Each structure stands twice: as structure tokens, then as C-alpha cells.
Amino acid sequence: MRFNFLLLLITTLTAVALSQEWKPHQVKIKLRNTEYYWALDTVNNVILSLQGLNWTTVPFNPTSGSLSSGSISRFNGESVQSFGINNKLTLSKANSNDPKQCWHFNPDGLIQLCNVPNWAATVVYRPVLTTVELRPINSGPQKWDIVKV
């Protein structure tokens, strides 16, 4: 009888723990306190748009504390990638081992490159388009809402 109870308890705890894992979600990424969302220009750079696109957040590595880590992907095997500091975020062929495609989704709204924690996805206002680039924290609008679709 005790063994059955212990087995039931372990099974229940395991089920609860597994149900709380971070799973892929279809989302829109919205600049906080605005109506602008992540979209793509004609050469696959991330820009802001009123329509926005659906993205899929896919778990990348084990999470670190309260941060969820994942790629930001489209449906055609491509993920958002950073090509370095002060460069536009770009959609590139997905590679689950590429740290330039791993993003931390910080509870306060920052989206940070996993291996460059002092930099975040930042709005950069340009004459024709508003782009999203990797910039130092606090160097421009950087708070995002991840809205499940």
C-alpha cells in the first residue's frame, strides 16, 4: 500500500513538473506601449510594422533562472539571428547550435542574445523603416511584450 502511494506521488509530481516546461508557442512580438510588432522587410531584416508577423518561440537550451531561452523562428526553417553588435536582426537558416540564434526572454521585457547579456533587441528609428538591432541595454526602446497568438 505504501509503495503504491509513493508511486502515485512520484508520478503526480513528475506530471506537474513536465507540464510546466517551456514549450514552443506561436507569438507576436510587440513593442511595449505601442501597436507596433516585429515584421520583415524585403531582405529579411526585422522591422516594426502595424500588422506584424506570427513567430514561433522554440526552446533552445535549459533555462537560466527565471529566463526562458529560445529561438525566434518562422515556419520555413529560419530563425532570427544577430550578426553582431549594432547590426540589424535578420532571418537566417535555423541552426539550433548557433548561439547567435539563442535569445533570453527576460520577464521585464528585454529580449537578449544568450551569449551577450548586456545587449538587447532595440528599436532603431531610420528615415524609411524602423529596424530592430542588437544594442547596449538602456540605449533605446527595448521592452517587448510576447503576445501568444
CATH number of the domain encompassing residue 94: 2.80.10.50
The domain of 104 spans 23-148
The torsion angle over the Cα atoms of residues 37, 120, 141 and 73, rounded to 10 degrees, is 0
Q: Is 56 left (phi over 0), alpha (psi -120 to 50) or beta?
A: beta
Give the pLDDT score at 67: 65
Give the pLDDT score at 17: 42
* Contact of 49 with 28, CB cutoff 8 Å: no
Q: Tell me whether strands 111-113 and 55-59 are parallel, antiparallel or unpaired.
A: unpaired
Question: Is the pLDDT score of 52 beyond 50?
Answer: yes
Q: What is the pTM of this model?
A: 0.81
Give the pLDDT score at 81: 97
Let me know if residue 17 belongs to a domain: no
Give the pLDDT score at 64: 52
Give the pLDDT score at 2: 61
> Mean of the pLDDT values across residues 76-86?
93
Let me know if residue 93 belongs to a domain: yes
